Amino acid sequence: MRSFGFNNLWLISLLWLYSALLYSQSGEMVRIKGGDYMPFIKGQTDQVLVNSFWIDTKAVTNADYLQFVAANPQWSKSQVKRIFADENYLSHWNLEQEGTGRFAELAPVVNVSWFAAQAYCEWQGKRLPELHEWEFAAKALPVENQFYDSLQRIISDWYSNRLRNNFEVGSLYQNTYGAWDMHGLIWEWVYDFNSITMNDDGRNQEEMPEGLFCGSASLNANDATDYASFVRFAFRTSLKGNYSLRRLGFRCAKTAD
């Protein structure tokens, strides 16, 4: 029995280590030091100051989201209000309350609306990242010695659909800020996706921002990252808050003190 007691102690410390490791994986955030950056949409001179913020290192997974739905049944498939999530909401889930659906638990949750994503983040004491925060975090290059060594390659592979579905979060590439899969896995909601207004006085909202379509000097059509920005911004303008789309998920953020 004495040796068993020793084993026990050994086990407990092992488990402690193991769970520390586990807990650090999902919902883990990285602090990103703010700074000026040149947003895609503002033209070549406008610098935007992004304050320091925290962002989830990985997108929210199906397993994460299942927990949220269990704790907040108003966000289950059957109870959600259509004004907050369209009929495609969680359509890839077979069963909403059990973990037994055929979705991959560690794949990013998709088919979630902006309202659902926002509610999830608030439940976590977080919020959705703002557009400039997300873009700021996403522009960091992949860390070295990975299969993907450039954003261009990730994005061109993604757009040519060579990346398969149901990739797990944290499987594609990590950037130098420590965030995983900012490109190449899914599109992600941002808090102010509806901030893309047409022109400064809002007189004609049918007009799209000129920078988006007119190939302003800041754009280089040969640069795949700018092409990706183009597609990303155009995609965002097409969204409505209750849209639930097959390739659209999210991660959460927090304001840094």
Partner 1 sequence: MKKETIVLLWIFGVMALNLTSCKDKGFSETEPASCCSSSPIMEEAVTDLPDLSVYHLEGSWKNQLGEQVEMIDFAGVPVVLTMFFSHCEYACPLLVHDIKEVENKLENRKDEVIFVLVSFDHKRDTPERLKLYAESQGVGGNWMFLHGSASQIKSLSVVLGINYEELENGQFAHSNRKLVLDRDGVVVFQQDGLQTKAEPVVSALTKLLH
Site residues, partner 1 (CB under 8 A): 7, 11, 14-15, 18-19, 22-23, 25-29, 63, 66-67, 71-72, 74, 81-84, 99, 114-115, 118-119, 122-126, 191-192, 194-206, 240-241, 254
Residue 130 CB, nearest approach to partner 1 (Å):
10
User: Which residue number, 150 or 197, has a Cβ lying nearer to partner 1?
Assistant: 197
Q: Where are the alpha helices (DSSP H) in the chain?
A: 2-23, 62-71, 114-123, 131-138, 151-159, 210-213, 224-237
Does residue 150 contact residue 68 with C-beta atoms inside 8 Å?
A: no
Q: DSSP states of 120-159 as a string? A: HHHHTT-BPPPHHHHHHHHTSPBPSSSS---HHHHHHHHH
**Cβ closer to partner 1: 161 or 202?**
202
Whichever of 57 and 225 has its CB closer to partner 1, that residue is: 57
The smaller minimum CB distance to partner 1, of residues 144 and 201, is found at 201
Measured from the CB atom, the residue of 114 and 250 that comes closer to partner 1 is: 114
- Give Cα separations from 25 to 18, 20, 110, 170, 180 (angstroms): 11, 9, 19, 10, 12
Q: Output the smallest distance, CB 29 to partner 1, in A.
A: 6
Q: In terms of residues, how long is the chain?
A: 257
Min separation Cβ 72 and partner 1, Å:
7
Q: Could you tell me the smallest distance in angstroms from the CB atom of residue 188 to partner 1?
A: 16
Contact 10, 203 (CB under 8 A): no
Amino acid at 111: N
Smallest gap from Cβ 132 to partner 1, in A, equals: 11
